[in-house]
């Protein structure tokens, strides 16, 4: 028997975002199928309301009231589509938890996602910012995704080129922003493990644990989880959205200027340019572990802003602007926010 889609009004999202910010959605629905999603879109269109898709809420900063239909994308399912000597093709629906999907892929002898273990959130949001960690990005294993076009209500396919992935970036954050809801993602994973241990801390930890023995994908996944648990706050204990800013990219000449003034600056080559460690910049600006009211920077990782309890979206935004100002004053470098802001008068929600 089919039940009609339940749409709630004035629904609290405080439990639905990892920063733990109080926020009321004018309307809220949890969709478990493409058909339910299409029903929700008709509801929003009839009321001329914007639609905000929400997964695990681990990369959003929410305002007090969202005059929108918030759709929790909860489609479930994971499938091995094919297996050949080199490649295991897998597909996951958007509502699958990312980390559980990674563990499932490893259980199915499919390698590649081990470095992306323990990233919070759901599969459907992973392409939005092309999630990355420990030298691997989603794009490295991405084949395609299916997304519903909010205008037409129809499902469209996106291959890697159409997604326009970059560092913490995709078309879904730029020219196709607010136009699609992702419903599934398909990846081509490796049969044979190709360990990616270039991120110093990871290689060092595995060498300490295993000596000369080659690590398995499970060893790598566990090491990544351990490093992350040591360094990053657990959202179930302290509200946060992971890195609050992207690591900024600067030109060679800019890098030369910074290196002369700050010989210890932490930076990584990126083609012709350099990527600076934003955590180092914030730390060196004297802002590691500081607190103003309910908001602060995490004491072990200055790039992570935390809600000590009772903060609103506006408090977080205002604190983040002070961090940007201080870093700019000291280094002349502008930090760009990583999480998406949904706050009506600051960043108009547009479809
Ligand atoms: P949400 O926060 O629910 O949504 C994020 C954005 O995507 C919103 O704009 C939302 O509207 C949109 N969206 C969500 N689902 C869909 C969908 N189905 N279709 C279309 N749009 C959608 N990120 C990294 O890249 N690397 C890390 O190492 C990392 N570490 C983190 C550590 C911590 C402790 C935390 C809290 C966050 C971290 N993040 C990291 C950020 C976050 O986990 C990722 O961005 C993740 O992909 C967000 O998933 P989500 O389901 O929670 O998305
Ligand atoms: N650093 C400091 N002080 C700090 C924090 C960092 O000096 O307070 C220095 C560290 O010593 C290190 C460098 O900055 O030399 C980089 O730090 P870290 O290894 O913690 O990584 P990050 O650049 O801060 C990025 C991602 C993370 C991802 C890790 C691992 C961004 C914006 N962040 O952090 O992603 O998990 O690398 O790959 O690219 C996220 O996007 O939410 C996220 C957590």
Which member of 168, 221, 320, 337 is catalytic?
168
Atom of ligand 1 nearest to the CA of 116: 28
Q: 209 C-alpha vs ligand 1 centroid, how far in Å?
A: 31
Give the span between the Cα atoms of 308 and 312, in whole angstroms: 11
pLDDT tens track, the chain, 351 positions:
566 899 999 999 999 999 999 999 999 999 999 999 999 999 999 999 999 999 999 999 999 999 999 999 999 999 999 999 999 999 999 999 999 999 999 999 999 999 999 999 999 999 999 999 999 999 999 999 999 999 999 999 999 999 999 999 999 999 999 999 999 999 999 999 999 999 979 999 999 999 999 999 999 999 999 999 999 999 999 999 999 999 999 999 999 999 999 999 999 998 899 999 999 999 999 999 999 999 999 999 999 999 999 999 999 999 999 999 999 999 999 999 999 999 976 544 433
Task: Name the residue among 347, 341, 348 with its Cα closest to residue 59.
Answer: 341
Mapping DSSP onto H, E and C, the string for the chain reads: CCCCCCEEEEEECHHHCCCCCCCEEEEEEEECCHHHHHHHHHHHHHCCCCEEEECCCCCEEECCEEEEEEEEECCCCEEEEEECCCEEEEEEECCCEHHHHHHHHHHCCCECCHHHCCCCCEHHHCCCCCCEECCEEHHHCEEEEEEEECCCCCEEEEEHHHHCCECCECHHHCCCCCCEEEEEEEEEEECCCCCCCCCHHHHHHHHHHHCCCCCCHHHHHHHHHHHHHHHCCCCCCCEEEEECECCCEECHHHHHHHHHHCCCCCEEEECCEEEECHHHHHHHHHHCCCEECCEEECCCCCCEEEECCCCCHHHHHHHHHHHHHHHHHHHCCCCCECCEEEECCCECCCC
Which member of 114, 243, 249, 340 is catalytic?
243
Task: Name the residue among 351, 344, 329, 327 with its Cα closest to residue 245.
Answer: 327
Atom of ligand 1 nearest to the CA of 133: 28
Atom of ligand 2 nearest to the CA of 167: 39
Give the span between the Cα atoms of 304 and 245, in whole angstroms: 8
- Characterize the bridge pairing of strands 65-73 and 51-54: parallel
Q: Which ligand is nearest to the CA of 266?
A: 2
The reported pLDDT for the residue numbered 344 is 76
For the record, the structure tokens of 299 come out as 């004491």
For the beta carbon of residue 345, count every other beta carbon within 10 angstroms: 7
Atom of ligand 1 nearest to the CA of 240: 36
CB 302 within 8 A of CB 320: no
The reported pLDDT for the residue numbered 346 is 52
Contacts of 171 (CB under 8 A, 6+ apart): 162, 163, 164
279 lines ligand 1 (CB under 6 A): no
239-342 classified as CATH 3.90.380.10:
no
For the record, the structure tokens of 148 come out as 């519903």
pTM check: above 0.95: yes
Q: Phi/psi at 19 (nearest 5 deg)?
A: -80, -15
The domain locations on the chain are 8-73, 78-190, 239-342
Give the span between the Cα atoms of 58 and 18, in whole angstroms: 5
What is the Cβ-side half-sphere exposure of residue 240, based on CA atoms within 13 angstroms?
Answer: 25
Task: Name the residue among 333, 319, 351 with its Cα closest to residue 267.
Answer: 333
Task: Name the residue among 133, 128, 52 with its Cα closest to residue 99.
Answer: 133
Q: Which ligand is nearest to the CA of 129?
A: 1
Ligand 1 pocket test, pick from 69, 96, 120 with the greatest ligand atom count within 8 Å of Cβ, gives: 120
Closest protein CA for atom 15 of ligand 2: 266
pLDDT in tens, 30-72: 999 999 999 999 999 999 999 999 999 999 999 999 999 999 9
Closest protein CA for atom 25 of ligand 1: 131
Give the span between the Cα atoms of 59 and 290, in whole angstroms: 22
Q: 19 C-alpha vs ligand 1 centroid, how far in Å?
A: 12
Q: 302 C-alpha vs ligand 2 centroid, how far in Å?
A: 9
Ligand 1 pocket test, pick from 51, 55, 231, 307 with the greatest ligand atom count within 8 Å of Cβ, gives: 55
Q: In CATH, which of 3.30.1330.40, 3.10.180.10, 1.20.1300.10, 3.30.43.10 is domain 8-73?
A: 3.30.43.10
Ligand 1 pocket test, pick from 32, 50, 58, 177 with the greatest ligand atom count within 8 Å of Cβ, gives: 58
The reported pLDDT for the residue numbered 92 is 98
Give the span between the Cα atoms of 169 and 116, in whole angstroms: 16
Q: Which residues line ligand 2 (CB under 6 A)?
A: 133-134, 231, 242-243, 246-247, 266, 277, 279-280, 283, 288, 301-303, 338
47 carries an active-site annotation: no
Give the span between the Cα atoms of 131 and 220, in whole angstroms: 18
Q: Which ligand is nearest to the CA of 232?
A: 1
State in words which class domain 78-190 has.
Answer: alpha beta
Q: Which residue has the tokens 């547009």?
A: 350
151 carries an active-site annotation: no
């Amino acid at each position: 028997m089919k039940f009609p889609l339940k749409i709630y009004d004035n629904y609290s999202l405080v439990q639905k975002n990892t920063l733990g910010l109080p926020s009321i959605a004018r309307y809220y629905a949890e969709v478990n199928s493409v058909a339910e999603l299409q029903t929700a879109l008709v509801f929003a269109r009839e009321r001329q309301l914007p639609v905000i898709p929400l997964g695990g809420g681990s990369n959003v900063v929410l305002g007090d009231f969202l005059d929108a239909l918030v759709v929790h994308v909860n489609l479930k399912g994971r499938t091995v589509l094919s297996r050949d000597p080199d490649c295991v093709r897998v597909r996951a629906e958007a509502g699958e938890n990312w980390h559980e999907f990674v563990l499932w892929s490893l259980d199915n002898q499919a390698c590649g996602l081990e470095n992306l273990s323990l990233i919070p959130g759901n599969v459907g949001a992973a392409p939005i910012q092309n999630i990355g960690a420990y030298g691997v990005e989603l794009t490295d294993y991405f084949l395609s995704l299916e997304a519903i076009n909010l205008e037409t209500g129809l499902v469209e396919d996106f291959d890697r080129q159409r997604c326009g992935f970059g560092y913490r970036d995709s078309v879904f954050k730029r020219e196709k922003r607010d136009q699609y809801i992702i419903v599934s993602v398909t990846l081509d994973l490796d049969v044979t493990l190709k360990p990616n241990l270039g991120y110093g801390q990871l290689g060092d930890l595995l060498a300490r644990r295993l000596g000369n023995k080659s690590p398995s994908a499970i060893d790598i996944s566990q090491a990544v989880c351990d490093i992350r648990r040591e360094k990053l706050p657990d959202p179930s204990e302290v509200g946060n959205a992971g890195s609050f800013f992207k690591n900024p990219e600067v030109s060679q000449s800019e890098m030369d200027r910074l290196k002369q003034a700050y010989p210890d600056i932490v930076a990584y080559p990126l083609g012709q340019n350099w990527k600076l460690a934003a955590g180092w910049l914030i730390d060196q600006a004297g802002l590691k572990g500081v607190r103003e009211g309910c908001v602060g920077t995490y004491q072990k990782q200055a790039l992570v802003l935390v809600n000590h309890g009772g903060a609103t979206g506006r408090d977080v935004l205002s604190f983040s602007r002070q961090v940007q100002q201080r870093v700019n004053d000291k280094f002349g470098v502008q930090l760009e926010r990583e999480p998406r802001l949904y706050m009506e008068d600051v960043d108009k929600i547009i479809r």
